[in-house]
């Protein structure tokens, strides 16, 4: 027996596969990629006994081993290739006991591939509620495989599962004969494939024949060889697969009759059906969806605020303490103005991101998200999108990178490409910091109709602007891109469930960690580089500027003098030189060279903008003025030409609009490149979004000033 | 008279699947449990009458009208 075996988890969507995975691995799980492809791979360690720690791999949920989307392809690609590093030594097939027919279809396919399996019979409680009793012993006898009763939500049955997996590892047992033997009806094709590719399993040979284009382990020559076999025997794949499915169901029927005692009263109305009558209602359906969206934005803005203020104050206090206790010098400046200002800029957004992911996870978990896809499909279709595009678009509100990855469930290529291209227009959480600060600066904090905060409404308007532009962009793309295949939309509507809280907590934890760690590192690095660029300048230009100020302004008070010196020094620094260099381009949008620095530095990641502003403005202010937040500093900033506040509504809105449209995120472009496998589409995305941003910001500023 | 399809069902109406008019689509539908001879009933329609929700073998499948039209039915 191997000391570090691989255990695969396979099953229908919604059968409880992910719950079981969380039960087995808990917080030790990690997300990565399957080698060679960009399909998310969740894996984690599972201690089976004292000597053996297995790696559990959670495969994407599938209905059959014939894939309908890119994500699903990986399952057969691994299961048909015993040399694959993720090839499971034992495969646990998770079965939803309340829906045996359809779940057993996949199960019989997996056993026919010749992998040692354990059948984990899940959701027996749901079956029982529906009046169905499933006999696990009979099921085991029917298939000659180990069957374990589990409850993936509560973690019941994990010990027996361990024992079953362990005995399959020690002494793998297989079903004696194929459940469906393709040789009977596709004789020549199977025989030829077996001899030509040295296969012993008839069903595996069938997979070579019908799936070879999706098998990464076959080379071009081998694929051509298989095409030749198909041609030689005039083999009709679609017909054959349809008859395979019908044949399997024909044999599954009597088995289910044997193992299930059904006492279900006919026509009972479940509470899922009752809820659906309201949630899919022509009026109430949309009204409730809108209300939920509104609630999400109110939460992000209003409920997260106290937590954010707390973090803000904490960082400012720490900064003040450090400045007082540390000796004056460039190193302590770097620590306080560079690093701490940068870190503060990251930490402060944790509450909003946590709330956002919490709510999205709750909608997803409860089953409501599927209803949203359903009621939105008809509305999305005219835009070249479909109901499944709604999930990427809504996740895009959190982050475009996972959202673009979520488009893999969209089966049609054109719909998927359009969704990828427009998703970054949805305002992601990285834009939230920019929105929050600028809105707080120019929109009064009042209430209308007693409940809605005006700032919250302004925020929602920006998000809506993102949504509307995403739809319009999709419409344009639909006219440009021609459809190559037909779009289809068949999906299971899950019943409503109470959210699994450990699931929700894990999702929130993962996303916050990813934000702090992934985005945080970039922000921190850029903050430090920026501090250096802003603190040092070419030659002695900065010292000369300081001497100049001292000479000309002998009458000024100490504070004012220090401020004047600091801002003159910044202007002559490397960062200042950069800012001045691009000022002519951004002047028509209302921006000065300081904002220019922030724009440039946020080119790789837009969330850097706020960190940069903090760094720039804390450098540009006198040192004894501690504990003042970035928002206050922006408010105090004067326009040198007019003498009024620098951040007028026109400027703030121009910046806001710019960031709604601008494609300032390297990670998103990289994700688009990966998912479309071409450099053309990220280039298209970058150009169209930047053009849109510049034109819209220009119009906004010129119109409002 | 033309054959009726699932797309012609009214909400709450029952029928038995008879055959499919589209081979590629039938593969997907078969795997999801829409077998010839299976009892189905239309449990709900999305607000604009499309997509529809079809009860098959104890669970609900959402599909577009165009897809539902490829499933021919016998009335019960």
* A176 found inside a domain: no
Neighbours of A146 (CB within 10 A): 21
Residue A305 lies in a domain: yes
pTM: 0.76
Distance, in Å, from the CA atom of A600 to the CA atom of A517, rounded to the nearest integer, reads: 22
Residue A505 forms part of a structural domain: no
Instruction: Say if the Cβ atoms of A130 and B58 lie within 8 Å.
Output: yes
Say yes or no: A562 and A606 in one domain: yes
**pLDDT for position A536:** 84
Q: Is the pLDDT of residue A603 over 80?
A: no
Q: Give pLDDT, residue A556.
A: 66
Which residue reads 């990813």 in tokens?
Answer: A514
A622, pLDDT greater than 50? no
Closest CA to A705 of A609, A590, A595, A591: A590
Q: Are residues A338 and A420 in the same domain?
A: yes
B44 touches chain A (CB under 8 A): yes
Does residue A272 fall inside a structural domain? Answer: no
Task: Please indicate, yes or no, whether residues A101 and A123 belong to a single structural domain of this protein.
Answer: yes
Q: Is residue A273 part of a domain?
A: no
Residue A636 has pLDDT above 60, yes or no: yes
To test the contact with chain B by mutation, choose from A381, A490, A495, A497 the residue with the greatest count of B C-beta atoms within 10 A, namely: A490
Question: Quick check: A479 contacting B, CB < 8 Å?
Answer: no
Q: Which of the pair, A519 or A401, is modelled with greater confidence?
A: A401
Please count the structural domains in chain A.
4
Closest listed residue to residue B9, CA positions, set B60, B46, B43, B57? B43
Measured between beta carbons, the chain A residues lying within 8 angstroms of B31 are 63-64, 66, 102, 105, 245
Q: Are residues A388 and A445 in the same domain?
A: yes
- Asked if B35 has any chain A CB less than 8 Å from its own CB, the reply is yes
- Can you tell me the distance from the alpha carbon of A209 to that of A219, in angstroms, rounded to the nearest whole number? 14
> How far is the C-alpha of A649 from the C-alpha of A704, rounded, in Å?
8
Query: Can the peptide bond before residue A345 be classed as cis, meaning omega within 30 degrees of 0?
Result: no
Using a CB-CB cut-off of 8 Å, the residues of chain B touching A495 are 59-60
Distances (CA, A) of A133 to A120, A129, A652: 16, 9, 64
Q: Annotated binding residue at A181? A: no
Backbone angles phi and psi of A11, in degrees to 5? 175, 170
H or E segment and range at residue A237: helix A237-259
Tracing tokens 């973690």 back to the chain, one arrives at A155
Do A336 and A430 sit in the same domain of this protein? yes
Q: Is the pLDDT of residue B57 over 70?
A: yes
Residue B17 · residue B36 · CB < 8 Å = yes
Q: Count the neighbouring beta carbons within 10 Å of the beta carbon of residue A266.
A: 4
B35: CATH: 2.30.30.90
Task: Determine the structural domain holding residue A645 and report its residue range.
Answer: 517-704
User: Does B76 touch chain A if contact means CB atoms closer than 8 Å?
Assistant: no
Question: Is some CB atom of chain A closer than 8 A to the CB atom of B18?
Answer: no
Q: Does A508 fall in a domain?
A: no
Dist. CA B54–CA B13, nearest whole Å: 10
Q: How confident is the model at residue A387 (pLDDT cuts 50, 70, 90)?
A: confident
A528 is a domain residue:
yes
Lowest-confidence range among A149-158, A177-186, A533-542? A533-542
pLDDT at A665: 80
Contact at CB, B53 and A374, closer than 8 angstroms = yes
Chain A, 492 to 551: residues with Cβ < 8 Å from chain B are: 492-493, 495
Q: Provide the token pair at A547.
A: 């001497």
Percentage, residues of chain A above pLDDT 70: 93
CB A487 within 8 A of CB A414: yes
- CA gap B17, B21 in Å, rounded: 12
Residue A197 shares a structural domain with residue A126:
no
How many Cβ pairs within 8 Å bridge chains A and B? 107
Put simply, the answer to whether B31 touches A105 (Cβ < 8 Å) is yes
Distance (Å) of CA A265 to CA A127, A329, A613: 13, 80, 66
Give how far A463 is from chain B: nearest CA, Å.
25
| Binary contact (A242, B53; C-beta < 8 A) | no
A188 and A229 inside one domain? yes
Residue B30 with chain A: CB contacts under 8 Å: 242, 245-246, 249
pLDDT at A151 over 90: yes
Question: What is the average pLDDT across A418-437?
Answer: 89
Contact yes or no for A245 and B24 at CB 8 A: no
A25 and A46 Cβ atoms separated by less than 8 Å: yes
A521-525, A588-592, B7-11: lowest mean pLDDT where?
A521-525
At A258-317, the pLDDT tens digits run 998 877 655 556 778 788 888 888 888 889 988 887 787 777 667 877 888 898 788 888
Q: Using the beta-carbon criterion (under 8 Å), do B64 and A489 form an inter-chain contact?
A: yes
In chain B, how many domains are there? Answer: 1
List pLDDT tens digits, range A193-242: 999 999 989 999 999 999 988 888 999 999 999 999 999 998 888 889 99
A61 chain-B contacts, CB cut-off 8 A: none
Tell if the CB–CB gap between B59 and A99 is shorter than 8 Å: yes
Q: Of A547 and A486, which is predicted with more confidence?
A: A547
Answer whether B9's CB lies under 8 Å from B15's CB. Answer: yes
Q: Closest to B47 (Cβ–Cβ): which among A130, A281, A490?
A: A281
pLDDT at A628 over 60: no
Same domain flag for A102 and A64:
yes
Residues A688, A547 share a domain: yes
Chain B interface includes A211 (CB < 8 A): no
Q: Of A170, A195, A213, which closes a domain?
A: A170
- In this structure, the answer to whether residues A553 and A618 fall within a common structural domain is yes
Tokens linked to A625: 């003025």
Question: Does the structure show a pLDDT above 50 at A625?
Answer: no
Question: What pLDDT score was predicted for residue B2?
Answer: 66
Where b means 16+ CB within 10 Å and e means fewer, A196-235 reads: ebebebbbbbbbbbbbbebbeebeeeeeebbeebbeebeb
Give the residue, B67 or A327, on which the prediction is more confident: B67
A152 vs A11: CA distance, rounded Å: 13
Last residue in a domain, options A213, A231, A262: A262
C-alpha dist (Å) from residue A406 to A392, A395, A410, A419 = 6, 8, 8, 10
- C-alpha angle A92/A97/A99, rounded to 5°? 110
CB A119 within 8 A of CB A106: no
**Over the stretch B11-26, which tens digit does the pLDDT of each residue have?**
889 999 999 998 888 8
pLDDT at A618 > cutoff 80? no
Residue B10 lies in a domain: yes
Check CB contact under 8 Å for B44 and A66. no
Highest averaged pLDDT of the listed ranges A164-178, A347-361, A566-580: A164-178
- A497-501, A603-607, A653-657: lowest mean pLDDT where? A603-607
User: What per-residue confidence (pLDDT) applies to A485?
Assistant: 65
ipTM: 0.88
Residues 6+ apart with CB under 8 A from A585: none
Look over chain A and give the mean of its residue pLDDT values, rounded to a whole number. Answer: 84
Residue B52's domain comprises 6-75
Q: How far apart are CA B64 and CA B7, in angstroms?
A: 9
Tell me whether residue A202 is annotated as binding.
no
A129 is in an annotated binding site: no
For residue B1, being part of any structural domain is answered with no
Q: Is A16 annotated as a binding residue?
A: yes
Q: Are A442 and A100 in contact (CB under 8 A)?
A: no
Does the beta carbon of B58 lie under 8 angstroms from any beta carbon of chain A?
yes
A411 touches chain B (CB under 8 A): no
Q: Is residue B41 part of a domain?
A: yes
B64/A66 touch (CB, cutoff 8 Å), yes or no:
no
Domain shared by A334 and A397, yes or no: yes
Tokens representing A355 are 């709330």
The answer to whether residues A329 and A413 belong to one domain is yes
**Where a domain ends, among A216, A232, A262?**
A262
Annotated binding-site residue? A344 = no
* Residue A619 clears pLDDT 60, i.e. is over it: no
pLDDT at A468 over 60: yes
For chain A, the 3-state helix, strand and coil shares in percent, each to the nearest 5, are 65, 10, 25
- Identify which of A497-501, A550-554, A685-689 has the greatest average pLDDT: A685-689
């Amino acid at each position: 027996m191997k000391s570090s075996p691989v255990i695969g988890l396979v099953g229908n969507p919604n059968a409880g596969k992910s719950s079981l995975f969380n039960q087995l691995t808990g917080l030790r799980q990690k997300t990565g990629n399957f080698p060679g492809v960009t399909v998310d791979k969740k894996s984690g360690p599972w201690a089976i006994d004292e000597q053996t720690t297995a790696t559990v791999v959670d495969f994407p949920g599938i209905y059959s081993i014939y894939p309908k989307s890119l994500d699903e392809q990986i399952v057969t690609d691994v299961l048909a290739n015993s040399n694959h590093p993720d090839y499971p030594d034992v495969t646990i097939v998770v079965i939803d006991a309340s829906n045996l027919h359809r779940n057993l279809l996949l199960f019989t396919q997996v056993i026919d591939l010749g992998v040692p399996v354990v059948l984990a019979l899940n959701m027996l409680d749901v079956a029982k509620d529906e009046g169905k009793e499933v006999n696990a012993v009979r099921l085991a006898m029917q298939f000659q495989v180990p069957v374990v009763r589990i409850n993936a939500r509560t973690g019941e049955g994990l010990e027996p599962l361990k024992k079953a997996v362990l005995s399959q590892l020690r002494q793998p047992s297989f079903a004696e004969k194929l459940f469906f033997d393709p040789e009977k009806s596709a004789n020549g094709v199977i025989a030829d494939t077996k001899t030509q590719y040295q296969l012993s399993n008839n069903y595996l040979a069938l997979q070579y024949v019908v799936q070879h284009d999706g098998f990464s382990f076959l080379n071009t020559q081998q694929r051509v060889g298989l095409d030749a076999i198909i041609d030689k025997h005039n083999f009709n794949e679609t017909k054959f697969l349809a008859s395979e499915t019908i044949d399997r169901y024909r044999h599954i029927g009597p088995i289910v009759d044997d193992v299930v005692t059904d006492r279900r009263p006919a026509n009972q109305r479940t509470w899922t059906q009752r809820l659906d009558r309201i949630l899919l209602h022509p009026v109430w359906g949309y009204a409730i969806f809108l209300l939920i969206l509104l609630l999400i934005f109110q939460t992000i803005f209003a409920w997260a605020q106290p937590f954010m203020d707390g973090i803000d104050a904490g960082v400012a206090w720490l900064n003040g303490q450090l400045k007082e206790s540390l000796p004056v010098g460039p190193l302590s400046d770097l620590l306080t103005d560079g690093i701490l200002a940068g870190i503060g800029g990251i930490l402060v957004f944790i509450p909003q991101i946590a709330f956002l992911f919490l709510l999205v996870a709750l909608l997803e978990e409860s089953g409501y998200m599927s209803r949203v896809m359903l009621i939105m499909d008809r509305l999305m279709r005219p835009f070249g999108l479909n109901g499944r595009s709604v999930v990427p678009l809504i996740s895009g509100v959190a982050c475009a990178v996972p959202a673009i990855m979520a488009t893999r469930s969209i089966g049609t290529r054109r719909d998927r490409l359009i969704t990828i291209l427009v998703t970054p227009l949805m305002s992601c959480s990285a834009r939230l910091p920019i929105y929050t600060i600028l809105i707080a600066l120019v929109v009064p904090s009042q209430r209308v109709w007693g409940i809605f905060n005006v700032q919250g409404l302004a925020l929602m308007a920006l998000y809506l602007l993102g949504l509307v532009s995403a739809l319009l962009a999709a419409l344009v793309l639909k006219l440009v891109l021609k459809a190559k295949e037909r779009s289809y939309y068949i999906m299971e509507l899950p019943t409503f469930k109470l959210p699994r809280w450990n699931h929700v907590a894990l999702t929130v934890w993962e996303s916050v960690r990813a934000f702090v760690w992934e985005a945080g590192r970039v922000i921190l690095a850029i903050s430090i580089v920026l501090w250096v660029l802003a603190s040092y300048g070419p030659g002695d230009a900065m010292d000369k500027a300081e001497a100049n100020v001292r000479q000309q302004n002998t009458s000024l008070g100490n504070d004012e003098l220090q401020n004047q010196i600091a801002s003159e020094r910044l202007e002559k620094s490397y960062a200042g030189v950069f800012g001045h260099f691009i000022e002519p381009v951004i002047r028509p949008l209302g921006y000065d060279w300081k904002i220019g620095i922030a724009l440039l530095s946020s080119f790789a990641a837009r969330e850097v903008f706020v960190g940069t502003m903090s760094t720039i403005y804390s450098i540009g202010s006198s040192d004894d003025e501690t504990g003042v937040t970035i928002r206050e500093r922006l408010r105090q900033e004067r326009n040198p030409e007019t003498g009024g506040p620098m951040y007028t509504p026109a400027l703030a809105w121009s910046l806001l609009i710019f960031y709604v449209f601008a494609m300032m995120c390297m990670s998103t472009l990289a994700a688009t490149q990966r998912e479309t496998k071409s450099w053309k589409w990220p280039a298209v995305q970058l150009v169209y979004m930047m053009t849109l941003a510049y034109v819209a910001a220009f119009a906004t500023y010129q119109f409002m000033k | 008279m033309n054959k009726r399809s699932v797309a012609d069902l009214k909400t709450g109406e029952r029928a038995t699947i008879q055959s499919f008019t589209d081979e590629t689509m039938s593969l997907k539908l078969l795997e999801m449990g829409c077998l010839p001879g299976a009892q189905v009933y239309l449990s709900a329609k999305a607000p604009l009458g499309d997509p529809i929700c079809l009860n098959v073998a104890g669970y609900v499948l959402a599909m577009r009208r165009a897809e539902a039209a490829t499933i021919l039915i016998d009335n019960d």
